Amino acid sequence: MRSKAIKAIWIVVFTAVLLWSGIGPHDPFTWLLEVAPAVIGFVVMAATYRQFPLTPLLYTLILLHCVVLMVGGHYTYAEVPGFDGWFGSERNNYDKIGHFFQGFVPAVLAREILIRKKAVNGSRWLALFVVAICLAFSAFYELIEWWVAELSGEGAEAFLGTQGYEWDTQSDMALALVGAITSLVCLSRCHDRQLVSGRFV
């Protein structure tokens, strides 16, 4: 019963935020690009649920990451209210939260898959592979942004969200790295407890 309740809440929150984000988005093309990873992730999780259910911690993190993507899609990352001028910057820094999550959440996902598939031996090797996977994922996402910009021209400006910052790509990847390391440091013990107890939703 508990598992069914968690699944129901997850689906309701995901669907509600997705629908909200799709109502009058600032830039429909950007909305489509930003919410696509969340929708694809939902489809993949639904398709693999019976064979490979995930821990409650991971499902929660994935939902939070989806919300970050959908909020960014609704407003565009340069226009999300409340994130202008952080740390003395003149730009909107919501995209930096998104890139932090791009390391923070995939770190637990990669960790869970590697542990359950017994792909890596030793905690140090596990941490190294998790961080490497997160950095590779972040770099690949930057390549996707580049390809989209090349194919769509000026229409991709809101998707890229560089806001004139010349080191945007490098800072994005650096924040993904910080997110991955923070995730490993803060969540590994909780994650281990759920894995050992076999707590899968």
How confident is the model over 49-108, as pLDDT tens digits?
A: 999 999 999 999 999 999 999 999 999 888 888 887 665 566 788 888 999 999 999 999
Q: Rounded to a whole number, what is the largest CA-CA distance in the chain?
A: 51
Beta carbons of 95 and 79 less than 8 angstroms apart? no
**Domain of residue 128, residue span:** 2-197
Q: What is the pLDDT of residue 84?
A: 79
Q: Determine phi and psi for 119, rounding to 5 degrees.
A: -85, -20
Q: What is the pLDDT of residue 39?
A: 97
Percentage of the chain modeled with pLDDT above 70: 88
pLDDT category at 155 given cuts 50, 70, 90 is low
Predicted TM-score (pTM) of this structure:
0.88
Instruction: Please choose, from the candidates 114, 156, 118, 110, the residue with its C-alpha nearest in 3D space to the C-alpha of residue 137.
Output: 110
Mean pLDDT of the chain: 88
Q: What is the pLDDT of residue 199?
A: 73
Residue 37 has pLDDT above 70, yes or no: yes
Q: Which residues of 56-95 are buried (b: 16+ CB within 10 A; e: fewer)?
A: bbbbbbbbebbbbbbbbbbbbbbbbeebeeeeeeebbbbb
User: For 55-64, 129-138, 144-153, 166-175, which range has the lowest pLDDT when averaged over its residues?
Assistant: 144-153
Q: What is the pLDDT of residue 68?
A: 96
Which residues, including other chains, have CB under 8 Å from residue 178's CB and lie 6 or more apart? 100, 103
Q: Determine phi and psi for 165, rounding to 5 degrees.
A: -90, 115
Beta carbons of 177 and 100 less than 8 angstroms apart? no
Give the chain's domain count. Answer: 1
Report, as an integer, the average pLDDT of 173-190: 96
Higher-confidence position of 11 and 145: 11
Beta carbons of 139 and 173 less than 8 angstroms apart? yes
Residue 193 has pLDDT above 60, yes or no: yes
